[in-house]
Structure 1
Amino acid sequence: MNIKLTVYFEDPFWVGVFERTSNSLYEISKVTFGSEPKDYEVYKFVLNNFYKLRFSKPVKLMDLREKKINAKRLQKKVKKETEKKGISTKAQETIKLEQESKKVERKEISKSKKEEEKKRRFELKQQKKKKKKKGH
């Protein structure tokens, strides 16, 4: 299992994106920090709140191969990652997919609520008609 946290500025707040890969599954969680977090604040947040985070639905990864990376190459990779601003395109795509799925869910829920309301009103009208026909 690999976990990566990227903290970046997304106007007007600082945002942290947790990326978790395990068993060729990729999940992300987005956290809004507000003002710029200090290193110790981020560390404290990870220790206290990591298990409370809600990750997105797992997305299957195709090209996940764990290779042992030598120390110098790993240092170069870490330096490159720290200089890079923003989040990976994989994370952006996953966030977008999650937003789309929630949007579809919301639409379905609102549609069903409208249908129920429409049925309720229709039943109410029918009852009023019957009551009117009876006379009292």
Structure 2
Amino acid sequence: MDRNVSSFTVCFQPPFWVGISERWTADGYEAARVVFGPEPSDAQIYQWLGVEWHKLRFSPAAPGERARVRPENPKRVRREARKTLESSGAGTRAQQALAREREQAGERLRRERRQRRLQSEEERFRLRQQKKREKKRGR
């Protein structure tokens, strides 16, 4: 039986502190981002996870298989955890997923804006035609 796996990383992306959530589901890899603003304390993060976690909007699932986790040497695990904390943020996969979500949101906004513009142009054209007909009838 395969389980869903998730992780939550808090990092500093100037000028704000940001939390990046990554999760593997049966559908694939998903990521979400939340901006905290000033540096949050551990208590604030735990409180946020308890209250706001379910409201996160994850990116669409990217197909792929989760890497299998195998037991490792505890010293190596500590060393890698320290390197992760020293590194500059979450993995590129999360950044790609968030960028993909931003692109999709932008595409949706462009479509909606274009639709509104076309509707207003049609309305203006219809009004001009109506005025032209009324002038021709002598009104």
Whether these two folds match at TM > 0.5 is yes
Distance 1:99 1:56 in 2: 9
Distance 2:90 2:67 in 1: 21
AA in 2 matched with 1:67: V
Q: Which runs of 5+ in 1 are unaligned?
A: none
SS in 1 for 2:10: strand
TM-score by length of 1: 0.89
RMSD over equivalenced CA pairs, Å = 1.7
1:72-104 Cα deviation digits (max 9, x unpaired) = 144444333223231110011111111112222
CA distance in 2, matches of 1:98, 1:25: 15
Give 3-state SS (helix, strand or coil) of 2:88's partner: coil
CA distance in 2: counterparts of 1:97 and 1:117, whole angstroms: 30
Task: Name 1:125's counterpart in structure 2.
Answer: 128
Q: Give the residue type in structure 2 aligned to 1:92.
A: Q
Unaligned stretches of 5+ in structure 2? Answer: none
CA 1:100 to 1:24, structure 2 compared with 1: closer, same or farther past 3 Å?
same
- 1:41 partner SS: helix
CA distance in 2 between partners of 1:80 and 1:30 (Å): 22
Greater displacement, 104-113 / 70-79: 70-79
- CA–CA separation in structure 1 for the residues paired with 2:50 and 2:27: 25
Q: TM-score, normalised by structure 2?
A: 0.87
Q: 2:18 matched to which residue of 1?
A: 15
Match of 1:54 in 2: 57
Shift of 1:71: 5.8
TM-superposed deviation, 1:70: 3.6
The answer for the alignment partner of 1:26 in structure 2 is 29
